[in-house]
Amino acid sequence: MRTAHLSTSTGPGDRSPTVRLGTRPVALRRSNMRSTDTTGNARRKVSQPMGIRTSPVPDRSAIEAARRSVGFDGLSAGDGKLYWIASGGDLAEPAIVNWTAGQVAEALPFAVGNSVHAYGGGSFAVGGGRIWLSSPPEGNVWQAGAAHALLADGDYGDLSIGDGLLLSVRETPAGDHLVAVDIATERVHDLHHAAFLASPRFHAGHLAWIQWAEDTMPWDSSQLFVASFDGKSLSKPLRVAGGPSVSVTQPQWGPGGQLYFMSDETGWWNLCQWDARNGTRAVAPIEADCAAAPWELGYSSYTFLPNGRIAMITQNGPLHRLVTVAPGQHISDVPLPYTSIKPYLAAIGSSIAMIGSSPTTAQQVALISMDHPHDVQVVSGSTANASVQISVPEHIVMKLPEAPIHIFHYRPAGVGSNVAAPTVVRAHAGPTYQADVRLDWEVQYFTSRGFAVADVDYRGSTGYGREFRQALNGNWGIADVDDCHAAARHLVDIGLAQADALIIFGASAGGYTALRSASRPDSPFGLAVARSPVVNPVAWQRSAPRFQRPHAAALAHPNADVDPRTICRPIAIIHGVKDTVAPVSDTRRLAHALNEMGKEIDYLEIQGADHYLSGYALAQSLEFEIAAFRSVIVR
């Protein structure tokens, strides 16, 4: 199996660059078409008719911002230890980290990851002192340290252990399979197949799983099934919950043998319980989303504690809370120093493990003792350097006729409260997601260079219930753009933003929002910057990963594509050549068309980079973006 390699170097940027683009204003120009690799070397494309100028060599601050952008995911507990996946920073590739009380967290030398449903997840499982993991790039399943793959015929994710079985989801071009492996004999059972499957969880002879159709997304419509398993095959499948207009997610068998899961039948993802005798009941009715949209496999937004209690993440609006649920539906808040909690909770005894962060604290793996809830034990992660000036956001609620829109406004470093500043309005990378209220080194990179940043939870964001989440269906590139325009004008009206120095920026779906804004004559923005954007939603229904095609279909409308003829603002685009989510060919065609029309376009392709940029590729992107931002000021 492949091993992960830890790197202590920040890459080619350690060398003193001879050119420092971004340390002075750079005006956008037509024909700014360039291509780089992730080592910073420019690559001339003979077939490309436009001029290619020197690729951006990121300065040390851009490299440092990228290096600090460390992520933690997949937190779980097993054998008295905590395990999670760390990525970014000095890690050459994602790796499993484990921690035992009284010891330092240790990265294990195994590469981990899969691409099931494009975004992967559930890449490892722990039990009986052993670790099973899916390893990139194929997504085959190995026992850590073994010489041969246990499952070597496809891409596997959503691994779990139950009563001597290793369970997983295998994705194929034709659909998904539930696969069980008898750990003792290594015998493989292909149990069930459907268009999409997730969350196989086994207990006492019964298997639970989530299933949804090929023409929908799991946050729009999904079903929870339970069937008997005799060691060879499934029998008597029963639909427990979910349906055409209900989303169910995150099934877990509880300590008493009942099946727990999240359902949005009330309009909010709430925790429910089912057993064969009593059917389904609500465990903790609350007007809040207690689950995240299942973009990835393996989420666990709740965990079981002693004495019948359950710990659970809740979200009504942009901020996360941690609560405990006691028998009788008694819900209590747990005080935390965090505003953002990733959808992974685990329990060790009476302590809750989580991945938390705040506007002044980067992601941390932490333990909260229920005996002393005010004591937070940081297991892994760093705190902000005291010498670094951190911009902390102001939470602004803008009331629109359609719905309240939440904005998080970060002032530029050293700028007073009554000073209007050049402002970057960020459309998050959803659309079925939300702005993260946590220390984001990309934001700090921009604010340290004189730009305010405003994150907008536009319609379609999560954490506001099912109706708000579905508000973009058939309205993508319309309602989200309206909300970002309204946010920019509101910031100008209250004296926080300069009307003549407004920029809209977004990555992925947020990049599409930025490009659509640049297509409207009423746009308040002087520049649109898009990183790894979707460009043609209509065609994207065919080119998107299989998992995401129904999402593209739900969001799109006949006039959804970015039309170069309607672009009326300067734009800058960054795209990784190996993007498997949003085709780089679409942005390439758009850039060429704009150039031929004589419109202002700055375009950067990064060789070797995928949809989400990290490491040196992210540093290059930041340097390119800040140069584009500064062009607005010098116009």
Tell me what pLDDT residue 178 has: 97
Indicate if 330 and 456 belong to the same structural domain.
no
Which of 62, 119, 72 has the alpha carbon at shortest distance from 98? 72
Indicate if 377 and 454 belong to the same structural domain.
no
How many Å apart are CA 58 and CA 13, to the nearest integer?
7
Indicate if 399 and 530 belong to the same structural domain.
yes
Interval 244-291: pLDDT, tens: 999 999 999 999 999 999 999 999 999 999 998 999 999 999 999 999
- Distances in Å between the alpha carbon of 105 and those of 184, 346, 360, 390, 539? 30, 16, 22, 27, 45
CA-based angle 410:406:119, to the nearest 5? 85
Residue 375 lies in a domain: yes
Residue 351 lies in a domain: yes
CA-based angle 86:91:96, to the nearest 5? 35
Indicate if 473 and 563 belong to the same structural domain.
yes
Tell me what pLDDT residue 387 has: 59
Which of 456, 267, 439 has the alpha carbon at shortest distance from 364? 439
Interval 75-105: pLDDT, tens: 999 988 999 999 887 777 899 999 999 888 8
Per-residue pLDDT at 17 exceeds 70:
no
Residue 411 lies in a domain: yes
Neighbours of 402 (CB within 10 A): 13
The encoded tokens of residue 439 equal 């220390």
Residue 106 lies in a domain: no
> Can you give the residue range of the structural domain that contains 334?
300-383
Interval 187-201: pLDDT, tens: 999 999 999 999 999
Of 383, 399, 415, at which residue does a domain stop?
A: 383
CA-based angle 253:259:264, to the nearest 5? 120
For helices 60-68 and 615-633, the axis angle rounded to 10 degrees is: 130
Per-residue pLDDT at 613 exceeds 50:
yes
Average pLDDT over residues 403-419: 90
Per-residue pLDDT at 50 exceeds 50:
no
Indicate if 330 and 472 belong to the same structural domain.
no
How many Å apart are CA 382 and CA 388, to the nearest integer?
13
Indicate if 342 and 417 belong to the same structural domain.
no
The encoded tokens of residue 101 equal 């009380």
Residue 503 gets which letter from DSSP? E
Residue 333 lies in a domain: yes
Average pLDDT over residues 314-320: 94
Tell me what pLDDT residue 38 has: 45
- Distances in Å between the alpha carbon of 71 and those of 64, 82, 346, 465? 15, 16, 17, 26
Q: What is the CATH number of the domain that holds 569?
A: 3.40.50.1820
Tell me what pLDDT residue 75 has: 97
Indicate if 442 and 471 belong to the same structural domain.
yes
Indicate if 373 and 404 belong to the same structural domain.
no
Tell me what pLDDT residue 40 has: 42
Tell me what pLDDT residue 418 has: 79
Query: H-helix or E-strand containing 255?
Result: none
How many Å apart are CA 535 and CA 583, to the nearest integer?
9
Indicate if 473 and 550 belong to the same structural domain.
yes
Tell me what pLDDT residue 415 has: 84
Interval 511-537: pLDDT, tens: 999 999 999 999 999 999 999 999 999
Average pLDDT over residues 356-373: 92
Do the beta carbons of residue 338 and residue 321 sit within 8 Å? no
Average pLDDT over residues 13-23: 25
Q: Is the dihedral of CA 154, 158, 161, 163 positive or negative?
A: negative
Indicate if 366 and 481 belong to the same structural domain.
no
Pairing of strands 527-531, 497-507: parallel
Indicate if 373 and 429 belong to the same structural domain.
no
Residue 145 lies in a domain: no
Query: H-helix or E-strand containing 87?
Result: strand 81-88
Backbone angles phi and psi of 590, in degrees to 5 = -65, -45
Count of the separate structural domains present in the chain: 2
Average pLDDT over residues 329-347: 96
Residue 188 lies in a domain: no
Tell me what pLDDT residue 635 has: 55
Which of 452, 454, 392, 458 has the alpha carbon at shortest distance from 629? 452
Band (428; pLDDT cuts 50, 70, 90): very high
Residue 546 gets which letter from DSSP? G
Tell me what pLDDT residue 89 has: 75
> Of all residues in the chain, what percent carry a pLDDT higher than 70?
90
Of 339, 365, 383, at which residue does a domain stop?
A: 383
Do the beta carbons of residue 133 and residue 141 sit within 8 Å? yes
